[in-house]
Every structure is written in structure tokens, then in C-alpha cells.
Amino acid sequence: MVRIFVCVKQAVDVSQLKVDSATRRVITLDAPKKISDFDKNALEEAIRVKEKLGGEVFSVTVGPEDAKTTLREALAMGADKAFLISDPIFENSDTLATSYILAEAIKKIGPFDLILCGEASIDSFSAQVGPRLADRLGIPLITYARKLDLEGDAVTAERSLEDCSQTMRAKTPALITVTKEINEPRIPSLMAIMKASKKEIVLWKAADANIASEKVGESGSAVQVLDILAPKMERKKIVIKGETPTESAEKLAKALVQEGVIGR
Amino acid sequence: MSEDRGIWVYSENKELMLELLGKGSELASKLNTRLTAAVLGHDVKEQAKELVGYGAQKVVIVDNPQLREFQVEPYLSALTQLTQQHKPELFLIGSTRRGKELAARLAARLNVGCVPDCQELNVDDQGRLLAGRIVYGGNAIVTQVFRIKPQIVTIPRRRFEKSEYKETSKGEIIDAENIQVEPSKTQVVAVKPIEVAETKIEEARVVVGGGRGLDKKEDFKILDELAQILGGQVGYTRPLAEDRKWFTEWVGLSGHAISPELYIACGISGVIQHVAGIRDSKIIVAINKDPEAPIVEMADYIVIGDLYEIVPALSVALRKLLAST
């Protein structure tokens, strides 16, 4: 029986962010949240493996208590059980601290064949937690998988790098991060959503998973955020007007030559 | 063992390595410290000499047959030991997919922080390193500082200029000692080079983008013509790919992020998701019927009109101008 853990993040829905135009500060506090897109691909892949080989899929998240909504969605997609590792002392944890929390929780949950993660989260897109987690657990890692096959104790995955595509193999237990090309995540049926409300979400505080308080939160983090600002958009906004399309086009062509962006 | 406490750079990508040396030199002079390049591989003396020419004051070589091909664990173990021995205060690593994994795991092994894909890297008046990166799908730039050292950052291709090569540059080249190379935990069973028949859109100097203002897929030929005159490429918005299924790729937040010298947006309204992918273009031109379209607010040059008239006229005008120079 195959056992797969999927790490999911409750991420900020980046398409619904607002900016305070006076200060350029991005308002993240009440921004709507959702499962990070690539984590859904990871979940879908885990569920497909389970449907083929039998077994169970656990989804694990570190986040505030309202991340339960995210986990319900994972359960509706087909995860069997979910773990929410949540403690006020986790606030402002960076990837160093978050990967520590996940590693300790996973050690406590028990043995597994695979851990699947999205290649990165849609909000911070740092692609750090998956690789850090693999290293903490001392298991093989294959990043950016766009195809995956589990057979016995060997996992084979295809991935694209900048200059080539590779087929990689590793012995389980292993951690794989997946890209959006790997599959099309299912949309849960009403029936699946109803069934999910009966599935278990295990809630652990730091102490429940032997998590040391000095290694989490701001004091356990190596990186600190100074500012989150909307990028400046300083553009010239010169409107080119001509009597005819030809005249407009000629004026534009001249302007572009003057900018030095065309020709040699 | 000599502790440098300076700035170190490493990338398995040779061009990117030179760009890291460029940025590294600038930071080293601001922080009044030394710049060292790590070279990993087998028979790499020549590369080490070249890096001195490009500004490395010191090159530390780990020469080992097991490092002939890039594999994460062997490279990671060598870099971890180098960092432990020499204690750099800042390590710049190239942001390729290989490099990002390497940097994240190096940071994990050293129990330190890593800021990936830095777009900005500055030193403030207190001598702190400020690392800026794009988050929230292009909607924000986060500036971060490190609480502990070594500080690890990764830097994408073409973000910073490489330094000039100087034949006369002097630098020390040494062989690392006592490096134990760990075996790889994964096995590469097949490799297929990616066909680079066409240049990647990220590398194009000029991109002509088409959006919903184009009625038919065939109409892209007027954009193709303009792109060809400019030695550039054509790009598309997501609705043309996802809704109309004309193409399989697009420029924007969820697709390709580009930073050409010139981006010409034809019939593109300029929703935030698209703009996130073109924001770093040097010059943005908008050709659009609608003077209220958001793209008008974020372009350098704007022509309000029918793209079916303006684009062919622009091709004619440019052809004339280019022929006369």
C-alpha cells in the first residue's frame, strides 16, 4: 500500500491583491486565500497514483487555523486525511523555519513512499521549502517533474531544465516537486465535497510535533521582510497622433530609432 | 585554513557565472571585501584563469572526476564544505533550475537563509545587504534582509551586466583541500537536449505581442512581418492560447516573463496578469483602438487606432528607415 504526503500551502490569491496607491504598499492582510496552484497539481498526481496502486494520501499544511478551508478542498479532491500544523508562534516564519516545522510534523506522521510538493507557491514563488525539506529528511529529491511513475521502490520522473530534459530515477522514500504541466487538477464533485466534510483534519500545535519554539517564527527565521511594495511604473506615456495611419506609423518609427531600440 | 568572509560566486552556467562576477565586483567594492569564484568540475584550470580575467580576485577549484557532470548531491556537498571552510559572508548563486535547488539545499545544510531570484541587490547605509525579489505574481517587490550569515542569494540570467574581460587582471588560483564528495541520490537515466531551433522569447530583443484585438489566427501574419523587420519574435496573450486555443504558450504572469528592449503591444488591453510578464521591457509601445485601455497607462508610446492599419504602416515606415541607415 502506497503512502503519499502532499504539502500544500494556503497562498494569497495574487489575482485579487490590492495596492494602497498613496504608499505603493501591497495589502496582504485581508487578501483572499486559496490552495497554491501547483500544490493542486501535486495533490492530483498523488490521488492518481493512489487510484492506480491503492494506498492513502495525506495532505499537510503549516499555517493559521483558517487554513482548514484549504485542507477541506484537498480532502474534497481526494486526500484521505489532512494535518494542519498551526501555532501562533509560527507567524513570520521564513522558508528555513517552515521547512523545519514540516520536517518535524512529517517525522511524527510516520513512514511514507513519496512526498509531493508544488514546484513553488504562487504568492512567494521561492521554490525553497520542497528542496529544504528533502535535505532535512535526507531523502532523494527530483524537482520540476512534469511526469511521474512509481513502481515498487523506484520513482521515475521527467523534468525540463533550461538546456535539456532529463529522466531521473530515485529510490523511495523520495520527495518530488511538480510543475503545472504534469496534470489537470480535478474539480471536486458536490458528492466529493460532502464526503470531505466527514474526513479527519488533525490539528497539531508546536508541542504536539516536538517543534522547538526558538527555531520558528521571527526568531527562528534567517530572513526578514523589510517592505512589500508595488513595482514602480514609470513610463513616458507619449501619445503619437497623425492625420493618417501612415503618418502615425512614421512618427512612431522615428521615435523608436531615437530610443535606440531598433536597428543596430 | 584561510577564512575569507568575502563574497563568493558560483554557477554551473558559464555566462551567468560572468554576470555574477560583474555584480559581485560591484558589491565587493561597496562592502570593501574580496570576490572569490568557486569552480567545480574536472580539468577546469582554464575556466579558472578566465574568471580571473573577469574580475575574480581568487578562484577556488574543486577538481574531482566525480564532478565531471553536474549532479546535485556531489556539487552540494563540495559547496557546503567550501562554505564551512572559508566562511563567505555572501554567496551569489546562479538562478537556473539546477542552481535554485542547489542554493536552497546549501542554505538548508548550513541552517541559513536564501533569497532566490533577486532582481535587486544593494547595500544600505548601515552596510546591510538588501535583497529585492518579485512576488505575488509580479504585483509586488519584497525587500528582505538577512539576520544571519552566510547570506545566500540566487540571481537570474541577464539581470546584471558581466564585467569586462581584462587580460591584465591578477588573481590567486588555489585548489580546495579536504573536500569529500557525496554520491548522488538520484540517477539520470535519459537526457534529451531541448531543440533550440527558434530562439526563446525570453532572449528576443524585440517582441511584438498580439491580443484579443486580432480577429483571426491568420491575421498574425502582419505581426510576424513587423517582428521579422525588427529581428524580433511574436508573443501572445493568455486568452488567445487558453480561450481561443490558437497557441500553447503566452506572455504574462502564468506564462513567459520577458524583458526585451522593445515590446509592441498590438490589440492588447493590458490586464495586470499580462503586464506582470512585460513590465521589465525597456520601451513599451501600445497600439490600441481603445484610449481607455489599461495598456495606455503603462506604455511609453501610444498610437490610438486600428492595429490592422497601424501595424502594416509601421512595417513600411520601419523598412524605409532601416534601409536608409
Which residues in chain A touch residue B316, judged by CB atoms under 8 angstroms apart? Answer: 246, 249
Q: Are residues A135 and A247 in the same domain?
A: no
B249 touches A at CB < 8 Å? no
One domain for residues B133 and B224? no
User: In this structure, is residue A229 part of a structural domain?
Assistant: no
Buried b (16+ CB within 10 A) or exposed e, B126-154: eeebbbbbbbbbbbbbbbbbbbebbbbbb
Instruction: Give the containing element (helix H, strand E) for B40.
Output: strand B35-41
Please answer yes or no on whether A249 and B317 come within 8 Å at the CB atom: yes
**Are A195 and A250 part of one and the same domain?**
no
Please give the DSSP secondary-structure letter assigned to residue A25: B
Residue A251, pLDDT above cutoff 60: yes
Cross-chain Cβ contact A248/B305 below 8 Å: yes
> Does B257 or A35 have the greater pLDDT score?
A35
Helix (H) or strand (E) holding A76: helix A68-77
- Segment B262-277, tens digit of pLDDT: 999 999 999 877 888 8
Quick: pLDDT tens for B34-47: 999 999 999 998 99
Same domain as B309, residue B272? yes
Mean pLDDT, rounded, of chain B: 92
Q: Are residues B30 and B113 in the same domain?
A: yes
List, in sequence order, every residue forming a beta bridge with B186; answer none if it has no partner: A170
Q: Nearest chain B Cα to A158, which residue?
A: B190
Residues B75 and B126 in one domain: yes
> Would you say residue B237 lies in a domain?
yes
Measure in Å the smallest separation between the Cα of B269 and chain A Cα atoms.
Answer: 15
- Bridge partners for B291 per DSSP: none
Please tell me whether residues A179 and A104 are part of one structural domain. Answer: yes
CA–CA gap between residue B323 and residue B136 (Å, rounded): 44
For the ranges A231-245, B138-152, B298-312, which has the lowest average pLDDT? A231-245
A142 and A71 in a single domain? The answer is yes
DSSP secondary structure of B241-305: HHTS-S-S--BSTTSB----SEEEEES----HHHHHHHTT-SEEEEEES-TTSGGGGG-SEEEES
Q: How confident is the model at residue B199 (pLDDT cuts 50, 70, 90)?
A: low
pLDDT of residue A68: 95
pLDDT confidence bin for B1, thresholds 50/70/90 = very low
What residues 104-123 of chain B have any CB closer than 8 A to a CB of chain A? 104-105, 107-109, 111-117
Per-residue pLDDT tens over the stretch A66-110: 999 999 999 999 999 999 999 999 999 999 999 999 999 999 999
> Could you give the angle at the alpha carbon of B87 between the alpha carbons of A130 and A125, nearest 5°?
25
Q: Is the pLDDT of residue B253 over 70?
A: yes
Please provide the distance, in angstroms rounded to a whole number, between the alpha carbons at the two ends of chain A. Answer: 63
Asked whether the beta carbons of residue B135 and residue A228 sit closer than 8 angstroms, the reply is yes
ipTM above 0.95, yes or no: no
- CA B166 to centroid of chain Cα atoms: 24
Beta-bridged to residue A177, according to DSSP, are A117
Asked if residue B146 and residue B251 are part of one domain, the reply reads no
- Test A233 with B298 for CB contact under 8 angstroms: yes
CA distance A211 to A196: 29
Question: Which residue in the set A228, A239, A255 is minimally distant from B142, CB to CB?
Answer: A228
Res. B184: pLDDT tops 70: yes
CA distances from B123 to B28, B67, B115, B126, B148 (A): 10, 34, 15, 8, 16
Helix (H, G, I), strand (E, B) or coil at B321: helix
The CATH code of the domain that includes B287 is 3.40.50.1220
Find, among A261, A263, A258, A239, the residue nearest to B262 by Cα.
A261
User: Is residue B54 domain-resident?
Assistant: yes
Convert the pLDDT of each residue in B45-65 to its tens digit. Answer: 899 999 999 999 999 999 999
Q: State the residue range of the domain holding B127.
A: 7-175
B43 with B158, same domain: the answer is yes
Domain membership flag for residue A173: yes
- The alpha carbon of residue A205 and the mean position of all alpha carbons in its chain are separated, in whole angstroms, by 22
Q: Is the pLDDT of residue B30 over 90?
A: yes
Give the distance from residue A228's alpha carbon to the nearest chain B alpha carbon, in angstroms. Answer: 4
CB atoms inside a 10 Å sphere around CB A198: 7
For chain A, say whether B224 makes contact (Cβ under 8 Å): no
Residue A222 lies in a domain: no
CB contacts < 8 Å between A and B, how many?
240
Bigger pLDDT: B7 vs A260: B7
Same domain, B13 and B162: yes
Same domain, A98 and A165: yes
Number of domains in chain A: 2
Query: Do A247 and A211 share a domain, yes or no?
Result: no
| Contact residues on chain B for A259, CB-CB shorter than 8 A | 262, 283, 300
Find the CB nearest A168 among B188, B305, B322: B188
| Closest to B80 in 3D by CA, of B59, B101, B109 | B109
Could you list the residue range(s) of the whole structural domain that residue A64 is in?
2-215
For B145-162, give the DSSP string.
Answer: EESSSSEEEEE-TTSSPP
pLDDT at B65: 94
**What's the CATH number where A102 sits?**
3.40.50.620
Co-location of B143 and B215 in the same domain: no
For A195-243, what is each residue's pLDDT tens digit?
999 999 999 999 999 999 999 999 999 999 999 998 877 899 999 999 9
Does B323 contact chain A (CB < 8 Å)?
no
Q: Please name every residue paired with A55 in a beta bridge, in sequence order, or none if there are none.
A: A2
Whether residue A15 is found in the same domain as residue A139: yes
Q: What is the pLDDT of residue B238?
A: 87
For chain A, where are the E strands, in sequence order?
2-7, 10-12, 18-19, 26-27, 33-35, 55-62, 81-85, 114-118, 141-151, 154-160, 164-171, 174-178, 201-204, 223-229, 238-239
Same domain, A88 and A198: yes
Q: What is the mean pLDDT of chain A?
A: 94
Please indicate, yes or no, if residue B227 is contained in any of the structural domains: yes
Chain A residues within an 8 Å CB radius of B113? 94-96, 221-223
The full DSSP string for B100-139 is HHHHHHHHHHHT--EE-SEEEEEE-TTS-EEEEEEEGGGT
Best probe of the B interface among A237, A243, A244, A264, by most B CBs < 10 A, is A237
Percent of chain B, pLDDT > 70?
Answer: 97
- H or E element at residue B73: helix B72-86
Same domain for B255 and B161, yes or no, is no
Q: Note whether A146 and A173 are same-domain residues.
A: yes
Residue B198's pLDDT band, with cuts at 50, 70 and 90, is low
Does residue B299 share a domain with residue B225? yes
**Which residues contact residue A185 at a Cβ distance below 8 angstroms, ignoring those fewer than 6 apart?**
A40, A41, A43, A44, A77
Residues A30 and A110 reside in one and the same domain: yes
8 A C-beta contact, residue B119 and residue B159:
yes
Looking at the fold, whether B210 and B96 belong to one and the same domain comes out as: no
Looking at residue B4, what is its pLDDT?
Answer: 63
Residue A89 placed within a domain: yes
The answer on pLDDT for B203 being more than 70 is: yes
Q: What residue in A sits closest to B144 (Cα-Cα)?
A: A225
Give me the mean pLDDT over the B110-134 stretch: 95
Please give, rounded to a whole number of angstroms, the shortest distance from the CA of B321 to a CA of chain A.
8
A31 pLDDT tier (thresholds 50, 70, 90): confident
Indicate if B168 and B288 belong to the same structural domain: no
Quote the pTM value: 0.85
End-to-end CA distance of chain B: 60
| Model pLDDT, residue B197 | 47
Q: How many domains does chain B have?
A: 2
The mean per-residue pLDDT over the stretch B229-255 comes to 86
